[in-house]
Amino acid sequence: MSTVNTMRAISQDVLGGPEVLKEVELPRPEPRTNEVLVRVRAAGVNPTDWKHRATGGFLGEPPFVLGWDVSGVVEAVGIGVARFQPGDEVYGMLSYPFGHGSHAEYVTAPARWFAHKPASLDHTRAGALPLVSLTAWQALVEYADVRPGQRVLVHAAAGGVGHVAVQIAKARGAHVIGTASAGKHEFLRGLGVDKAVDYRETDFAEAVKDVDVVLDTMGGDTALRSLRVLRPGGIVVSIIPIGSDEFPNEAERLGVRAVRMLVDASHSHLEAITELVEAGKLRPEIAGTFPLAEAAEAHRLGETGRTSGKLVLLMD
């Protein structure tokens, strides 16, 4: 059990499968100037977590504590924090990728990485939302500027980023096409998808045409082939930031745009997401919850690729 000066966290000493994740006791952090100390109530688990666990990704060699999503309660504030006070319920994303560490009982981070938790969401749903909603918002709103009546294709539309992107695109008045296996099509229709494409049975590049915006969550060949379904001047935004020069080169040849992005922590974008939540236009779907100690089980389930929505770790 953690004491006043320590906290439970999920860490790893080596790269590998889910079995490398261990519950450990670490010193409880203290907020510095302009930072808040948040007692974590719930923290989403995302594909980037299991990729970093297995390969090190941007973080290199362990030990490290993974996790970027946070929903919790402000425990203490550092000098200069005017936005929050102890007792405030907040949610946010630790700066990606080097701000990681939310799979723990407490985190410290700059106050500007957080917003007040939407009143209509419990901590479980709020903890599922930040990384995927910021990714989808930045892709569709900041980079693609989705407008009413536009045609938007979302790849892996039942996944964490995908199912939130569908709702954001619909909230902006778009006609939304989503790819997913046939068993997830009913789920997609419940989100408001106008046309569902079974990527296992159908080549999306044949089934879909005249699209204004594609959100690519897969990278590689999917990103490249997505360029061919665009109208002139259309855009593919890929959330897979690393790949060959063929993607931008082919976009230039076809007279379309290709963007690769990584998500940024943003208070103002979280505020916009909160507005959608409170207006009833955005709600994260929870595929499963796990106590902190069972983080490895969450990773195992996530890596099957069969879940719809988000997996969340609960601290209590």
Q: Please state the rounded mean pLDDT for residues 220-234.
A: 97
Taking CA atoms, 149 is separated from 28, 213, 227, 236, in Å, by 50, 11, 20, 17
* Residue 185 pLDDT > 60: yes
Domain borders along the chain are 6-129+284-314, 132-260
Q: Are 90 and 74 in contact (CB under 8 A)?
A: yes
Mean pLDDT score, 191-197: 98
pLDDT of 10 higher than 80:
yes
pLDDT band at residue 4, thresholds of 50, 70 and 90? Answer: confident
The span from the CA of 152 to the CA of 167, in Å, is 11
- Domain 132-260 annotated CATH 3.40.50.720: yes
Percent of the chain with pLDDT over 70: 99
Average pLDDT for 239-249: 95
Tell me which residue of 129, 275, 153, 124 sits closest to 222, measured CA to CA: 153
**d(C-alpha 185, C-alpha 307), whole Å:** 13
Other Cβ atoms closer than 10 A to 59: 15
CATH T-level topology, domain 6-129+284-314: Quinone Oxidoreductase; Chain A, domain 1 (3.90.180)
Per-residue CA distances from 147 to 13, 33, 75, 173, 220 (Å):
46, 40, 40, 6, 27
More confident residue, 282 or 3: 282
Question: 1 pLDDT band (50/70/90 cuts)?
Answer: low
- Listed in order, strand segments (DSSP E) in 53-210 are 64-65, 69-77, 89-93, 106-110, 114-116, 151-154, 175-179, 195-197
Q: What is the mean pLDDT of the chain?
A: 97
Instruction: Give the bridge partners for 109, in sequence order.
Output: 36
pLDDT recorded at residue 251: 98
Cis amide prior to 97 (ω within 30 degrees): yes
Q: What's the whole-number mean pLDDT along residues 64-68?
A: 98
Judged against a pLDDT cut of 80, whether residue 45 lies above it is answered with yes
Q: What is the per-residue pLDDT across 68-90, written as a single tens digit (0 to 9) for each?
A: 999 999 999 999 999 999 999 99
